Amino acid sequence: MPEQPLTSRGAATYQRILDAATEEFAQHGIAGARVERIVTAARTNKAQLYAYFGDKERLFDAIFLSSLERITNVVPIDADDLADWAVRLYDEYLRRPDLIRLATWTRLERRPAGHLVETHQHYDDRKLTAIAEAQAAGRIRGGDPFDIMALVIAMSMAWSPVSNVYAASSQEPDDVHSRRRDLLRECVRRATVPTDQDQPDR
């Protein structure tokens, strides 16, 4: 039975728990996260954590959903320039490696197949509509909008913190990043530009 904090001091603690939990879960996953470490980092105690969030699983739910919101809002799609969108995603992964790690922990620990979240429509709808419109206007290639979205996101993650090849980090020199950005931009552009078969709206 989670309860909301009732005072402003409580609200501040609530937020510190969220922040600390985001970092802890991003680093260690659900099974690996330690409640003890979270309350220490949040400068609070277990009683508060359990009063506000119920248990470890529901605490994860709370931080995961707000992380999803963030990544969707901070990097909105531009269906007329998917290449630029991919590059902005590349930069966001550098800025907040924890968010993409959280998503991947969810995939591995909770949802081995299918959509990552039950409410995927809530997150995908705007992107899919945008892609479909750009297709109708002949500005990007045909094909299932969902598949195109998945592919462009996958390309943006080539050097992400969950890459199976190489995980980039903000410590690397700038020119390495711009080299990757250039390649990414150019390849997404070429992959998504309309083909001969793609007729503008007839």
Cα–Cα distances (Å) from 192 to 5, 83, 182, 189, 200, in that order, read 48, 8, 16, 5, 14
Quick one: which segment of 7-15, 35-43, 58-66, 107-115 binds a second copy (CB under 8 A)? 107-115
Using the contact rule CB under 7 A, the part of the chain among 44-52, 81-89, 162-170, 180-188 near DNA is 44-52
Residue closest to 142 by CA, chosen among 194, 94, 182 = 194
The reply to whether 5 sits near DNA by the rule CB under 7 A is yes
What does 194 bind: DNA, a second copy, none (CB cut-off 5 to 8 Å by kind)?
Answer: none
Q: What is the DSSP letter of 42?
A: T
Cβ neighbours of 99 (radius 10 Å): 21
Is 161 a residue that touches a second copy (CB under 8 A)?
yes
Compute the distance between CA of residue 131 and CA of residue 108 in angstroms, rounded to an integer: 28
Q: How far is the CB of 106 from DNA (least distance, A)?
A: 17
From the list DNA, a second copy, none, which binds 143 (C-beta under 5 to 8 Å, kind-based)?
Answer: a second copy
Looking only at residues 22 through 41 of this chain, which bind a second copy when binding is defined by CB under 8 A? 27-29, 31-32
Task: Pick the binder of a second copy from 56, 88, 96, 101 (CB under 8 A).
Answer: 101
- Judged by CB under 8 A, does residue 51 bind a second copy? no
- Residue 202's alpha-carbon distances to 89, 129, 135, 177, 198, in angstroms, are 33, 19, 12, 41, 11
Q: Which does 56 bind (CB under 5 to 8 A by kind): a second copy, DNA, none?
A: DNA
> What amino acid occupies position 56?
K
DSSP codes of every residue in 64-101 = HHHHHHHHHHHS---GGGHHHHHHHHHHHHHH-HHHHH
Which of a second copy, DNA, none does 111 bind, CB closer than 5 to 8 A by kind? Answer: a second copy
Contact 9, 15 (CB under 8 A): no
The reply to whether 163 sits near a second copy by the rule CB under 8 A is yes
For DNA, the binding residues (CB under 7 A) are 5-13, 33-36, 43-48, 50-51, 55-57
